[in-house]
Structure 1
Amino acid sequence: MRIHEKTAVDAWHFARPKLAEAYLNAFALGLTAARGLFARRRMGKTEFLCKDLLPAAVEKEYLVAYTNLWDTSTPDIAIVSALAQALEPRGFRAVMTALGKPVKKLKASAKLPGLAEGSIEADLAQLDADSAATMREVLRQLDRQKKPLILVIDEAQVLAKEVHSVFAHALRAALDIRKDRIKVVFAGSSETTLRDMFARSSEPFYNWAPLEPFPLLGDEFVAFTVELTNSLARNTLTLTDGKRAFEALHRTPEFFKRFIERFVLYQLEGVDAALEHTKATVFSDQHFLRQWTGSGAADRAVLILVASGDSDLHSVAGLRYLSTLAGSPTTPSTVSHALRRLQDGNVVTRLERGRYRIEDEAYAEWIRQTTAGHLREALAEKPRAKSKR
C-alpha cells in the first residue's frame, strides 16, 4: 500500500496526531527500530496506522510500506510487494531487471500507485517473491534510497505460523542489519501470539520489539462523532446517549459508527431503536454460527465459560461445570487441548496465567446471547465458581 502526501479526507476519521508523533519520535531517538502493538479487531488500530501514522511519517520524509496479513496465505509475497511499492519507479525497474525480468512499460516519470491494482504483487509472484533472492534485491534497492523507511505489518501474528518460519527468519536477518534505515511496526489482534513471537527464544523475532497495548479510543472519540452527527442530523443525539451506545457496543469504534449510521438514516425511530438494531446486527452474524458449529463440544464449553467472564477452567468445580456444558466428562487435559486449539486459531487469548478472553468481542457477545439457556442449566448443577474478570 502506497501512502500519498495528499489523501482523500474522511470526515468521520478521528485524527490522533499526537499519538502518531509519539511513535515517530520514539523511532527518531534511535533506541529502538521496532515496536509491537496489539488490540482486538475493530478497535481502530488499522485506521490509525493508515490515516495517522503513515501520513505523518511521509511528512517527516520517510518512505512508507504497509501490508495487512489477515487474509493472505502468502505473507512473504505481501511483505516483499509492500516494500517494492515503497520504491520509486526507477528502483522498482532495477529490481525487476536484476531478477531477470525488465519492466519495459514503466516510464521514468510514472508513479507506482498509477499501476494497475496488484500489478507489482503479480510481477513479483512470477519471480518467486518468497525467495530470499527477491527480498534481498528489493532491500538492496531500498538501501540506495536517500530516505529511511517505515514498514507496518498489520496482523503480524500470521508470521508466527510454522509454515512461514523460513521466511520470518530471513526477514529478521535482513532487517537486523538495517535498523538504522528501516523501522518496523508489528501490529496485531492476537495478543497471545504476538507475545509468543517476541518472548519465545525459538521464534524468529525473539526479543526484537517491545510489545504494548494500542491506546484505545474513548470519550473524546465519542464526543467528536456525536458533534459531527449533530451537524448532519435533524434530530439531536446527546453526548449522554452517545456514551451509552458506545458502552452498550463494548466500546468498539466500528460498531459505534454502525450505530451512528443507523441513527442518521432512521432518525424518526430514535436512539434506542438504532442501538437495538445495531446490537442485533453486529452480535448476530451468521459467520458466528458457522464458527460455533465448526467447534467441538469441549471447545464450545470453554468458550461459554470464558465468554461469561469466568476463567475457573482447571479447578474441580470448573471441570464439573465444563462437563455439564460439554455433555461429557471433561479432564484437565481436555481443557488444555481445547485452549491450545482456540489460541492457535486466534479465537481466545491468554491475558495472564489462568485468565483468558475471547479475541472478538462481537463473537463473545453472540455466545453470551446464544447460550444463555445452557449457562443457566449448568449453573443449576452446581454453585458458580468465583468469577475472574
Structure 2
Amino acid sequence: MGKTEFLVQDFIPAAEAKGYACVYVNLWDLKDDPATALVSALHKAIEPKSFAKAWERLKTPLKKIKASGKVAGLAEAGIEAELADKGRLAGTLLMDVMTAFDKTKIPVILIIDEAQVLANAENAVFAHALRAALDIRRERIKVLFAGSSEATLRRMFGRSSEPFYNWAALEPFQLLGKEFVTAMVEKVTSIARNPLALADALAAFDELKQTPLFFRLYLDRYLTNPFEGAQGALNFTKEHVFNNMGFEKQWDDLLPADQVLLAMIAEGASDLQGSEARGRIGASLGLEKPVAAATPQNALRRLADKNIVTRIDRGNYQFEDEAFADWVRHRE
C-alpha cells in the first residue's frame, strides 16, 4: 500500500536530484503486453526522437511487418518464426534502445512497478531478453522492482527456472502507521474548526485496516461533514469502501471451490487441502462426497495467481488485501 505514490512522489525526485535519469513503467497499464509498455518507456526516456518510429513498429500488424521484411536485427530466413511471437519483436526493439543507451553517459534507474507481470509464462521470452540486457549494464542501469503480489515476486526471484532468479533481493515495503496518522491529524487541526482527536483517528485507522487511501477518505468526510463527528465519518467511510470497492464482484467472479477456500482462509483455517476442505467444497457443488485432492490445490493456485492470497509457508495462506479479508469474514 502506497508504493506507487512513494516511487513517483518521493523516490524519483530524490534520484533525479542525485543526477540519475529515471524510467518509470507500471506494467498494469498494459498488462497483456508488458514488453511494449517497458520498451516504450525506455525509448521515451533514452531515445525520445525515435520513440514515434518504435511505437509504430510495435503497433504495426504482424502481416504488414512480415510482408515488408523490415525488422532490424532479424535474419530474413528466420523472420516468419520470429514474428510468430510479438514478444520477440519487443525484444528486438529492446536491443535497439539499449544500443542507443550505450552511446550515452547518463546513469539510469529503471523502476518497474507491478513487476510480477513479468513472471507470467507468456512473458518469459521477453523477461529473458530483459535480464540479458540488464546483466551487462549493471554498472549504469540500476533496477528497482516493485509489486503487489509477494508470492509471485518471491517465485520470480527465488525459483531457479525463472528468468530473474537470484537477480534482486526482496524487501518488504514498510507500511504507514501512527506517525502518518499523527501528521494527518495535525493537518486537520490546522484547518478545521472542530479538531480531530488523535485517539479517534488512530481507532479509525485500525478499523479501516490501516489503509492510507481509506483513511484519507475518512478525513475528507470528517472535514466536509463536521456535524457528523468522527464516528459518523468512520461509519460512512466503512460503508463506502467495504461495500463499494468491488468486493462483491470479486467474490462473484470466483469459482465455488475458490470461494470455499477463501472463506476458510478468512476464518484462519490452516488445513486447506484436507478432508474438511474437500468436504466443504463438495457440499458447495452439491456433491455427497468430498472432491478430489487436486481440487483445493488448483483453487489455491488460482487464488494466488489472481493476487488474492499469498502463500506464507507450506499450507499457510493470507489475504493480499486485509480489507477484502474483513469483507469475506463479515459477508452475510
Same fold (TM over 0.5): yes
Give runs of aligned pairs for residues 74-93 of structure 1, distance below 5 A.
Answer: 74-87=33-46, 91-93=47-49
2:20 corresponds to which of 53, 62, 70 = 62
Kindly state the Cα deviation for residue 253 of structure 1 after the two structures are TM-superposed.
0.9
Q: Deviations over 1:269-296 (max 9, x none)?
A: 0111111111111111262222212211
TM norm structure 2: 0.85
Q: Deviations over 1:213-236 (max 9, x none)?
A: 111111111111111112122211
The answer as to 2:10 corresponding to 1:49 is: no
Q: Deviations over 1:133-167 (max 9, x none)?
A: 21111112222222210011111111111111111
Task: Please identify which structure carries the higher helix content.
Answer: 2
* Counterpart secondary structure, 1:283: helix
Point out where structure 2 has 5 or more consecutive residues left out of the alignment: 61-70, 72-85
Q: Deviations over 1:202-252 (max 9, x none)?
A: 111111111121111111111111111121222111111111111111111
Q: 1-side partners of 2:103 and 2:142: how far apart?
A: 16
Residue equivalent to 1:314: 273
The answer as to 2:331 corresponding to 1:370 is: yes
Q: CA contact under 8 A between 1:314 and 1:335: conserved in structure 2?
A: yes
Q: CA contact under 8 A between 2:44 and 2:51: conserved in structure 1?
A: no
Sort the Cα spacing of 1:74 and 1:324 in 2 relative to 1 into closer, same or farther, 3 A.
same
* Counterpart secondary structure, 1:213: coil
* Counterpart secondary structure, 2:166: coil
Residue equivalent to 1:361: 322
Q: 2-side partners of 1:131 and 1:333: how far apart?
A: 37
Identity of aligned residues (%): 49
Q: 2-side partners of 1:291 and 1:71: how far apart?
A: 20
Kindly state the Cα deviation for residue 332 of structure 1 after the two structures are TM-superposed.
3.0
The answer as to 2:194 corresponding to 1:225 is: no
Kindly state the Cα deviation for residue 346 of structure 1 after the two structures are TM-superposed.
1.5
Residue equivalent to 1:250: 209
* Counterpart secondary structure, 2:312: strand
Q: CA contact under 8 A between 1:343 and 1:349: conserved in structure 2?
A: yes
Q: 2-side partners of 1:281 and 1:122: how far apart?
A: 43
Kindly state the Cα deviation for residue 264 of structure 1 after the two structures are TM-superposed.
1.0
The answer as to 2:241 corresponding to 1:282 is: yes
Give runs of aligned pairs for residues 287-298 of structure 1, distance below 5 A.
Answer: 287-298=246-257
Higher relative CO (Cα under 8 Å, sequence separation at least 6) belongs to 1
Kindly state the Cα deviation for residue 326 of structure 1 after the two structures are TM-superposed.
5.9
Q: 1-side partners of 2:50 and 2:271: how far apart?
A: 59
Kindly state the Cα deviation for residue 324 of structure 1 after the two structures are TM-superposed.
5.2
Q: CA contact under 8 A between 1:66 and 1:82: conserved in structure 2?
A: yes
Question: Number of paired residues?
Answer: 304
Sort the Cα spacing of 1:188 and 1:179 in 2 relative to 1 into closer, same or farther, 3 A.
same
Q: CA contact under 8 A between 1:301 and 1:326: conserved in structure 2?
A: no
Counterpart amino acid of 1:137? D
Q: CA contact under 8 A between 1:94 and 1:141: conserved in structure 2?
A: no
